[in-house]
Chains A and B, each alone.
Chain A
Amino acid sequence: MSAAGKSKTIKGETGDWEIVIGMEVHAQVASQSKLFSGASTEFGAEPNSQVSFIDAGFPGMLPVINEKCVEQAVRTGLGLKAQINLRSLFDRKNYFYPDLPQGYQISQYKDPIVGEGEVYIDLKDGETIKVGIERLHLEQDAGKSLHDQHPDSSFVDLNRSGIALMEIVTKPHMRSSEEAAAFLKKLRAIVRYLGTCDGNMDEGSMRADVNVSVCKVGGYDEFRRTGSFKTLGTRCEIKNVNSMRFIAQAVEYEARRQIEVIEGGGTIAQETRLFDSRQGETRSMRSKEEAHDYRYFPDPDLLPLELDAAWVEAIKKTLPELPDEKKARFMTLGLGAYDASVLVAERELADFYEEMAKGVDAKAAANWLNNEVLGRLNRDGLSITQVPVSAAANNAIIAMVADQTISGKIAKDLLDIVWTEGGDPKQVVEARGMKQVTDTGAIDAAIEAVIAANPAKVEEVKAKPKLAAWFVGQVMKQTGGKANPAAVNAALKTRLNLPDEG
C-alpha cells in the first residue's frame, strides 16, 4: 500500500494532480451555560427562550468567562496532545449581522488557548497517518436568522448566541476525501470520549469548514520538506459541510472543479464557497476582496485568560483512556489493528466490548461483536446504545460456547431468541434444552441410526475417509445440532475404524 500521507492522485488532461486538505472544525463545548453568560445551552428550546441580556447585546452588559468552558477547551487540547497556552487573549471580531447582537464576536485571534497538537487516523487499509493540529481557540457562536417565518421580515433566534465553540484548525495534512472524513470521525470520537462535545452533527454541535487545494504530483512533498506553501495550490474554503458523507462529496467535487479551471487556463481565486448538498456542488460565496475586515482587537471587557499549570495538570489526570491508547491495549489482548480501531471508534462500542469480553477470549468476543451483534444492529437500524441484548448477556453466551455448554451454531440461535424475546441466556439454554450433547451414549445411538439408514455410505467412507464429514453432518442433524462435533468425530472414527488423520 502507499506510504503514509500519499495523496490519491486524480488524472487530469495535463497530468496527475494531488489534493491537499485542511479543516476548521467548530465543536460546541459541552456545558450547561454559555461562554460568557449564565443562559442555558440546551438544544431545541423555544426561540429566544435561552437568551440573557449579555447574549442579546444590551447596553451596559459585560461578558464574564465561564470557567467550565475553559476547562473543556483545555481538556480537549490535552486530548489532542496539544500545547496548552497558560496565557491567552480574547479578541473582538467586528462585523454587522442581525444574528450577532453585540456587533462583534468574542473569539481568540493571535493568542489561542491551545496550540499545536496531533490526531492519528486509521485508514481502511490498516495504514495510520498523523494530522497536525494548528490550534484550538474558544469563541462565541452567533444566533440564527430565520428567513421563512414571515413574508417580508426576517426573524432572529438568539438561543445559540453566545454558546461556546471550540474552533479546531488542522494543518493541511489530509490528502483525500477519505482522510478528511476519517479525520472528522476521529476528532468526533476524541471529543466524545473526553465529554467536551457531544459531536452531534445533526444538531449543529459539530460543523466543518474544509480547505481544499490541488497541486501537481510532488508539490505536497516539497511543502512538507520546506514548510513553504508556494508549492501548494491556492485553497478554497468550503463552508458548513455538516455530515461525513458531504465531506467526501464536497472534496471530490471541489478538487475536480479546481483541476478543470487550472487545466482550462484559469487560476484559482482564494474564496469562500458553500457546499450545496442537493446539487452535490460547491458555489462561490465571497471572494478574498469581498472578505470582511474584522478589525480584531483585544476585548477590553475581559482580562487575559491566565491558567495555573497545576490546574492543567489536575485536568490531565482526569482524562479518560482515549481511542489510540484503547486501541493499543486492545491489540495487546490479541486483536488486529483494524478490529481494534473499529471497536474504539465509539466510546459506547468500546465500553460494550470491554464488558462483553470480561473473562472470555478477546478475539472471540471481538468476532462475536463484529459478526453477530453489529450485524443484527445494522439489520435493525439500531445503534450500540439501543442494543436489545446486554453486554453481560452476550458475555454469558460467549462463555457458554467457550466451555462447550453450547455449540457455536446454537449460540447464534440463542442470540436470536434473546434478541427478540429477551430473557437470560443461561435460563433459555436450560429451558429449551439447547445444551451441547457430549454424552457418548446419545452420540453412539445417533451414529448407529445414521449407519443403519445409510449402509452404502459406510462402504464409501471406508474407501475414502475424507467423506467422514458427511457422517458428522448427519449425526449433528440427528441430534438437533446439540452434539459436540469433536465428540462426534472421535466416536465415528472408532466406530468406522478410520485412520487418525487422512
Chain B
Amino acid sequence: MSDLTAMTLAEARDAVQAKKISSKELTGAFVKAIEAGRPLNAYITEAGEQAMLMADVSDRRIAKSEGGALEGLPLAIKDLFCTKGVRTTAASKILGNFVPPYESTVTQNLWDAGAVMLGKTNLDEFAMGSSNETSAFGPVFNPWRASNSNANLVPGGSSGGSSAAVAADLCLAATGTDTGGSIRQPAAVTGRVGLKPTYGRCSRFGIVAFASSLDQAGPMTKTVRDAAIMLKTMASVDAKDSTSVDVPVPDYEKLLEGGIKGLRVGIPKEYRIDGVPAEINALWTKGADWLKAQGAEIVEVSLPHTKYALPTYYIVAPAECSSNLARYDGVRFGHRASGARDITDLYEKSRGEGFGAEVQRRILIGTYVLSAGYYDAYYSRAQKLRTLIKRDFDQAFEKCDVLLTPTTPGPAFAVGAKTTDPLEMYLQDVFTVTVNLAGLPGISVPAGLTENGLPLGLQLIGKAFDEATLLRAAYAVETAADFKHSPAKWWNV
C-alpha cells in the first residue's frame, strides 16, 4: 500500500478498522494530494486542518472500538451541501462568504458515521451545467486527457469537482447531487461510479435547492461497492424534508454479490439516437452481452415519450429554479450590491452581479414559463408530459427489472468546446434527465475507453426504491467490464 490515496473506500475502511493504517495517516495523504492537485481546481474550499482534527477523533474512537460505518474515511463534499461553520458557495458569487449555521442531513449522516471532511468541491453554479464551466470559482479540469492531446477536458457537471476529485484520488469518495444527470454524467466522463438514488431516498434538507422536484443527493465513488457503502449512510427518511420517503434502507453492500441470474434487463429502443458516436452504441451492446453472459435476460422495451424529456426538463427545472433562487436578493445574506437607489435597484444590481450567465438564463426561462398566459402552454403541459414519461417507465418495468442505456452521448470534451451553444450543452443530459423526471434511481458504471483513451460509462436505471437490484446489476457490469484504468497524474510535476 504505497499510495494510500489509490485505495477504494472499502479497502481503506477495512485497513482502518483493522488498524493497519490510522485515519490521520490516510487523511494526511489526501491533504497532500489535494495540495498537489490544485491545478485541477476540484476544490473550492479545502478543509485540511479540520480534516486532521476529525481524523484524530476517529482514531481515538477506533482505538476504543467505537467506530461508525465510515469511521476515519476522508470524503469530499460537493459545495452545494450546507456544512456548519464551513463556507458554502454553490459555486456562485451571490452567496458571498456565506457560512451556514447548520448542517445538511446527508452530510450529518456521514459525520455521524465517522467520516472525515476534506473540503468542498467545485460545481457548476447552483448545479446548473454539464461541464463545471459555469462555476464562479473557475472551471475544473478532468484528470483524464486524450491519448493524442494535452488539451484540458471538462470533468462533466454539475458535480465536476467531485468527479475530478474521485478520479484523481483527491478523496476516497464524494457526494454529488443530480437534477438532470449531474452525478452520472461527470462520473461517466471521469471513469468512475455515480449513483443517483430514488427521489426521496436521501434528504434534501440543507442542500442548496436548484429544482426541488428533481434534486437528489448521491455518492460518487471509485467502485460500485463503494457506492453501496456510501448510499447506506447517506440515505434516511428526514422529518425536515417532507418529500423524503420512509422506506427501509437495506445493507446494499451485502446484497451486491447475489448475481443476476434471471434478471430481466430492458434495452429501451428510443435511446438509440442520431448523432451518437458508434463506439457508444457498441459499448452499449457489449454491456448487454456482459449481462446476458451472467445469466440475465435481455428484453427490448419502449419508452415512447423519451424525445419529450429534455424539453420537459428545461421547463420544469428552470421554473422551480426561478422560484428557489428568489431568496438570493442581497437582503439577508450573501452578495449585496453597493450604491443601490431603492429596493428594486438593490435587487437588480445584486442579482445581476451575483448570478452568472447560465443561472440568469434559467431564471429568465423559468420566470417566462410560469407567467400568466404562458403557464398552461408550458408548465402545465410539461407536468402532463412528466406524468407520461413516468408511465413509460412503469410500463417498461412490467417487462424488466432494470434498464441499460449509455450514460452520455460522448466522452469528455474540451474546455470551452460547448460554452457558446447552450442547446448543445443541454444535450449532454439526453440519456439521464428521464430518470430525474420519473424520480427513479440510476447509476453510471465505467465500462470502457474511447479510441483516444477517454472513459465511457453505461447507465442502469432501476425501479423506485430498488437500489439493491440496481447496485447488483451495476456490480455485474463492473465485474465484466473490469475497468482498471486511471488517469496519468499529469498535475503531479
Contacts and interface: CB of A to CB of B under 8 A. Distances in A.
A301 B242 contact: yes
B144 interface: no
B219 interface: no
Instruction: Pick from A154, A293, A296, A300 the residue with the most CB of B within 10 Å.
Output: A300
A104 B213 contact: no
Interface in B196-241: 204-209, 211-213, 239-241
A301 B212 contact: yes
Interface in A54-108: 56-65, 92, 94, 96-98, 101-104
B370 interface: yes
B468 to A, nearest CB: 25
Given A60-B207, A62-B240, A303-B243, A96 B329 contact: yes
Interface stretch (B151-159, B186-194, B320-328, B422-430): B320-328
A297 B206 contact: no
Instruction: Pick from A63, A103, A295 the residue with the most CB of B within 10 Å.
Output: A295
Contact of A98 (B208, B320, B343, B367): B343
A266 to B, nearest CB: 27
Interface string B40-56: 00000000000000000
B327 A101 contact: yes
A381 B240 CA distance: 49
Interface stretch (B8-16, B95-103, B266-274, B471-479): B95-103
B88 interface: yes
Contact of A64 (B209, B212, B240, B370): B240
B82 interface: yes
Instruction: Pick from A64, A96, A302 the residue with the most CB of B within 10 Å.
Output: A96
Contacts of A301: 209, 212, 242-243
A59 B98 contact: yes
Contacts of A92: 323
B98 to A, nearest CB: 7
B241 A62 contact: yes
A59 B372 contact: no
Instruction: Pick from A59, A154, A296 the residue with the most CB of B within 10 Å.
Output: A59
A130 to B, nearest CB: 34
Contact of B100 (A59, A65, A102, A296): A59
B239 to A, nearest CB: 7
Given A53-B101, A56-B332, A96-B347, A63 B213 contact: no
A91 B430 CA distance: 30
Given A53-B101, A96-B326, A297-B379, A59 B212 contact: no
Interface in B362-403: 367, 370-372, 375, 379
B90 interface: yes
B100 A297 contact: no
Nearest to A102: B327
Nearest to B103: A60
B110 interface: no
Given A53-B101, A53-B102, A301-B212, A64 B239 contact: yes
A96 B81 CA distance: 25
B333 A58 contact: yes
B319 interface: yes
Interface residues of A, number: 30
Instruction: Pick from A62, A65, A154 the residue with the most CB of B within 10 Å.
Output: A62
Given A92-B323, A300-B320, A301-B212, A60 B104 contact: yes
A93 to B, nearest CB: 10
Given A297-B375, A301-B242, A104 B326 contact: yes
B331 interface: yes
Interface string B300-331: 00000000000000000001101101110101
A56 B242 CA distance: 19
Contact of A101 (B323, B332, B343, B367): B332
Nearest to B383: A298
B242 A57 contact: no
A338 to B, nearest CB: 49
A65 B242 contact: yes
A154 B242 CA distance: 35
Given A60-B207, A293-B372, A300 B327 contact: no
Contacts of A156: 331
A86 to B, nearest CB: 18
A81 to B, nearest CB: 31
B242 A102 contact: no
A104 B242 CA distance: 18
Interface string A282-303: 0000000000010111001111
B82 A60 contact: yes
Contacts of B81: 60
A63 B327 CA distance: 14
A102 B212 CA distance: 14
A102 B211 CA distance: 15
Given A62-B205, A300-B320, A301-B243, A103 B329 contact: yes
Nearest to B331: A98
A300 B239 contact: no
B343 A94 contact: no
B323 A59 contact: no
Nearest to A97: B343
Contacts of A295: 322-323, 367, 370-372, 375
Given A56-B332, A103-B326, 4 more contacts: A60-B82, A60-B204, A94-B370, A303-B243
Pairs A-B, 3 closest by C-beta atoms: A103-B326, A295-B370, A300-B213
Interface of B: 81-82, 88, 90, 95, 98, 100-102, 104, 204-209, 211-213, 239-243, 319-320, 322-323, 325-327, 329, 331-333, 343, 347, 367, 370-372, 375, 379
25 contacts: A57-B332, A58-B100, A59-B90, A59-B100, A59-B208, A60-B81, A60-B100, A60-B104, A60-B207, A60-B209, A62-B240, A62-B241, A94-B323, A94-B326, A94-B370, A102-B326, A103-B323, A293-B371, A293-B372, A295-B322, A296-B370, A297-B319, A297-B379, A302-B242, A303-B242
